[in-house]
Amino acid sequence: MIRLLVRLALVVCGLSLVLLIAIRVIEFPQGDAARGEVLYFGASSPYLPCFQCHELPSVAPGMGGLSERVLQERLSLPQNAGQTVEEYLAESVIDPQRYIVPPYNDLMPAFWSSNFSGFHRITLVDLQDIVAYMMTL
């Protein structure tokens, strides 16, 4: 049983890694910013309560001027060389623990994970739409 769980975990990690690599290799398709806004505010199904934390400065980073901050602060670093703002934002949703903005804690749910049991496991279309909305902030 433990071997099966370990194998399953390795498969999930492998699939996540493939997706992260694909995001860096292929151009990230444009999403629907209006639908992304609905998802961000949890206004309909699927329910993603992004705003509940990102509107509280003591809990999570604010979203105002997000794309400009990412461009100036994160994409100027060598480990993010060649990455677009869209790719960085998508990666932040897919793998929120990769970079935690100081002084915040690791609280963001892994909405992409197949073993996520919270609000809603997002799809690629959801991800595209959320990133499109974040680009408007």
- Tell me the per-residue pLDDT of 72-117, one tens digit each, with 9 for 90 and over: 999 999 999 999 999 999 989 888 888 898 999 988 877 665 554 5
Q: CA–CA separation, 20 vs 28, rounded Å?
A: 11
Q: Which tokens belong to 7?
A: 């194998």
Q: Which residue is it, tokens 């997706």?
A: 19
Residue 18, pLDDT score = 59
Residue type, 132: A
Residue 74, pLDDT score = 92
Provide the whole-model pTM: 0.73
Dihedral of the CA atoms 13, 15, 19, 25 (nearest 10)?
A: 100
What's the sign of the alpha-carbon dihedral 86, 46, 9, 52? positive
Cβ distance 18 to 73 under 8 Å? no
Tens-digit pLDDT profile for residues 41-75: 987 766 677 888 899 999 999 999 999 999 999 99
Q: CA–CA separation, 124 vs 105, rounded Å?
A: 26
Query: Helix 124-134 to helix 85-94 angle, to the nearest 10 degrees?
Result: 130
